[in-house]
């Protein structure tokens, strides 16, 4: 049996947003690996082995998957959203760089709908012009790097999407983020808080930067900050396609 490894994005939550390509890979898989809540989204079936693990075991998970594929298994590593956006694809390639003995393994990255884009679609089109995405977690990079990128992005007048804004172990980072934005951006800058997009727990809130508070965000929330030209169109918010 010829093995392979697919790194797949399950989308933001609704099964209808899983791509047909990802569904086909899961249907042909012998093994599915991933963070426990993501593996729980994959239906059990005969002949399928589910390997759930903790959130901070990305490199061990990647090694396990490559080992399975090298041994002839058909493995799928699942991430939420898109696997190339703050997710497992980079971890797999990090392992491949360190351990070239697995270079011959067939590896495919299967894109998914990332939470940033799902949230933007629900709100309207806040990312309609130039934008950037920043992971506010300082688990893998120091806060000084995050702060530098925030200040530069705000100064360049990008719309911004923030992943992992606030958690129990990182309660203060998002408050510091809002303080930095208020130094550079006007108080009326529009901010979208999109929690659990495409699930029954979905909640979308639109406020100004002056109204935004740290408690509005948690680890299930994507925060979208418009640029200086972002504005409302009825109940929607959008960023014009042309800069002035």
Confidence of residue 22 (pLDDT cuts 50, 70, 90): very high
Percent of the chain at pLDDT exceeding 90: 93
Tell me the pLDDT tens digit for each residue of 36-85: 999 999 999 999 999 999 988 999 999 999 999 999 999 999 999 999 99
Average pLDDT over residues 220-242: 96
Model confidence at 1, pLDDT cuts 50, 70, 90, reads low
The confidence score (pLDDT) of residue 59 equals: 96
Class of domain 116-238: alpha beta
- Buried/exposed code over 148-174 (b: 16+ C-beta within 10 A; e: otherwise): ebbeebbeeebbbbbbbbbeeebeebb
| pLDDT (average), residues 201-229 | 96
- Domain definitions of the chain by residue range: 4-113, 116-238
Let me know: does 10 contact 40? Beta carbons within 8 Å.
Answer: no
Apex CA 88: angle with CA 86 and CA 94, to 5°? 100
pLDDT in tens, 157-189: 999 999 999 988 888 899 999 999 999 999 999
Q: Residue 244 pLDDT > 80, yes or no?
A: no
Q: How confident is the model at residue 139 (pLDDT cuts 50, 70, 90)?
A: confident
Give the ranges where 102-165 is alpha helix by DSSP (H). 115-123, 143-155
123 near 237, Cβ under 8 Å? Answer: yes
What's the chain's average pLDDT? Answer: 95
* Residue whose token pair is 């203060």: 172
Mean pLDDT (whole number) for 131-140: 94
How high is the pLDDT of residue 243?
A: 75
Mean pLDDT of 210-217: 96
Query: Is residue 237 exposed (0-12), middle (13-18) or buried (19+ Cβ within 10 Å)?
Result: buried
- Cα–Cα distance, 195 to 215 (Å, whole number): 12
Is 4-113 assigned to CATH 3.40.50.300? Answer: no
First-last CA distance in the chain: 58
């Amino acid at each position: 049996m010829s093995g392979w490894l697919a790194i797949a994005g399950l989308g933001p939550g609704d099964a209808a947003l899983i791509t047909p390509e990802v569904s086909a890979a899961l249907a042909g898989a012998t093994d599915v690996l991933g963070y426990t809540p993501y593996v729980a989204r994959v239906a059990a079936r005969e002949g399928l082995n589910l390997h759930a693990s903790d959130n901070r075991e990305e490199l061990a998970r990647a090694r396990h998957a490559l080992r399975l594929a090298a041994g002839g298994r058909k493995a799928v590593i699942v991430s939420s959203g898109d696997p190339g956006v703050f997710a497992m694809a980079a971890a797999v390639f990090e392992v491949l760089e360190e351990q070239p003995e697995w270079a011959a393994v067939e590896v495919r990255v299967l894109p998914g709908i990332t939470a940033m884009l799902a949230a933007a679609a629900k709100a309207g089109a806040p990312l309609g012009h130039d934008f950037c995405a920043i992971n506010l977690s300082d688990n893998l990079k120091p806060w000084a790097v995050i702060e530098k990128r925030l200040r530069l992005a705000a100064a360049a007048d990008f719309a911004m999407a923030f992943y992992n804004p606030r958690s129990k172990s990182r309660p203060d980072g998002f408050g510091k983020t809002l303080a930095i934005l208020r130094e550079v951006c006007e108080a009326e800058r529009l901010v979208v808080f999109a929690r659990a997009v495409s699930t029954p727990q979905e909640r979308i809130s639109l406020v100004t930067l002056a109204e935004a508070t740290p408690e509005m965000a948690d680890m299930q929330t994507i925060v979208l900050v418009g640029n200086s030209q972002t504005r409302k169109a009825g109940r929607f918010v959008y960023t014009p396609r042309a800069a002035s």
